[in-house]
């Protein structure tokens, strides 16, 4: 059977905001899109069929975590990541660079060998080169593969960011060679350069010269302010290839997403809706709700009376408060699904307003509310 090639088209734009369509052999993805995070081959606390019912059209999983547990060979033996986790959606896999920085005990970054680190689980030593990262992702059989990059911690030291960015460009070239010809899959480059405009532009130009199926902006969501993040996007929005999807990695809050869409971003992922759901924080059209608050003990209204999806409006804030204050697992499941559903409602509304030419008004109405 011939597999459908990866394809992206912009359908409508409104200022820099774009509504588009990514086509994959596993299904289409409307953009701007939010990808729920399934780090360890599961979106925590949820059945994948329920995640699909929220309107999610793609999920993200992670190379670093899966190469450590259960290991790529075990997933290959199960027929790939989709079969392993019973997921029919397209899957994007992060290369592992961010987790090497944020989770592992990093020994060193070697330009030739890659990232040398010890697992945060058991201390086992790993060497993650660009070639190994691609090998693992191809083994997982993900649909969108990310290049191996170095994601430095936030710093204003120009020399550190410049050196890291140069290594990432070198690894991008090696990732492209290792990926080879896979027209039914996509390989995305990752723009680095910290908060420095000239380094971001240099990184982007180098990546476009190499040529990728999409372009991600990495090195953000590492402690910078929202305004700093928006400045980075403003600095590169006109230089980003218009015919390729643009992915802001690890972002973020609903307000972050609104502001980034305004600056031309097409794809997002973040643990925020799922992690917040597990800890009792709900996202709603009227702002955030801490369901553990005592005031909800007598509130018999649902989080969103208009949300009939997954019967989520059958559960009152009173009941959810009880579940969280008694540490019942069902509370985490219900609030996680609520948050994912809200994020997908937000993305759907964003796409609709872009197509109607009213996104700016929608942005201004909700940017400070959500």
**Catalytic residue set:** 94, 269
Closest CA to 176 of 199, 208, 139: 208
Query: Cα separations (Å) of 161 from 109, 155, 208, 298?
Result: 13, 8, 20, 52
Q: Are strands 59-62 and 281-284 parallel, antiparallel or unpaired?
A: unpaired
Answer for the pair 130, 198: CB distance below 8 angstroms, yes or no. no
The two structure tokens encoding residue 60: 């993200």
- φ/ψ of 43, rounded to 5, equals -80, 110
Alpha carbons 185 and 92: distance in angstroms, whole number: 10
Closest CA to 254 of 339, 131, 161, 360: 339
Closest CA to 212 of 238, 239, 236, 177: 177
Phi and psi based region of residue 223 (left: phi greater than 0; alpha: psi -120 to 50; beta: remaining): left
């Amino acid at each position: 059977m011939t597999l459908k090639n990866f394809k992206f088209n912009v359908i409508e734009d409104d200022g820099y905001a774009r509504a588009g369509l990514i086509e994959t052999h596993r299904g289409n993805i409307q953009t701007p899109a939010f990808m729920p995070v399934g780090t360890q081959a599961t979106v925590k606390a949820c059945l994948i069929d329920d995640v699909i019912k929220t309107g999610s059209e793609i999920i993200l999983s992670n190379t670093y975590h899966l190469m450590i547990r259960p290991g790529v060979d075990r997933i290959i033996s199960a027929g790939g990541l989709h079969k392993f986790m019973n997921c029919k959606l397209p899957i994007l896999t992060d290369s592992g660079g961010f987790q090497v920085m944020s989770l592992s005990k990093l020994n060193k970054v070697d330009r030739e060998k890659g990232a040398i680190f010890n697992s945060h689980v058991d201390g086992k030593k790993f060497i993650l080169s660009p070639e190994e990262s691609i090998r693992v992702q191809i083994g997982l059989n993900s649909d969108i593969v990310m290049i191996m990059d170095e994601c430095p911690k936030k710093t204003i030291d120009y020399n550190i960011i410049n050196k890291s960015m140069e290594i990432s460009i070198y690894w991008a070239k090696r990732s492209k060679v290792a990926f080879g010809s896979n027209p039914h899959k996509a390989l995305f480059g990752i723009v680095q350069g910290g908060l420095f405009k000239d380094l971001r532009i240099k990184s982007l130009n180098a990546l476009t010269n190499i040529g990728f199926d999409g372009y991600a902006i990495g090195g953000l969501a590492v402690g910078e302010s929202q305004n700093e993040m928006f400045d980075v996007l403003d600095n590169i929005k006109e230089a980003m290839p218009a015919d390729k999807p643009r992915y802001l990695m690890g972002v973020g809050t609903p307000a972050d997403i609104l502001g980034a869409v305004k600056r031309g971003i097409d794809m997002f992922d973040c643990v925020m809706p799922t992690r917040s759901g597990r800890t009792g924080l709900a996202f709603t059209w009227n702002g955030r709700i801490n369901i553990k608050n005592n005031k909800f003990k007598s509130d018999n209204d649902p989080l969103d009376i208009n949300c009939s999806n997954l019967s989520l409006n059958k559960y009152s804030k009173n009941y959810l408060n009880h579940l969280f204050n008694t540490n019942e697992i069902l509370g985490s499941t219900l609030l996680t699904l609520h948050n994912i559903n809200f994020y997908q409602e937000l993305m759907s509304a964003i796409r609709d307003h872009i197509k109607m030419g009213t996104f700016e008004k929608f942005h201004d109405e909700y940017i400070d509310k959500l």
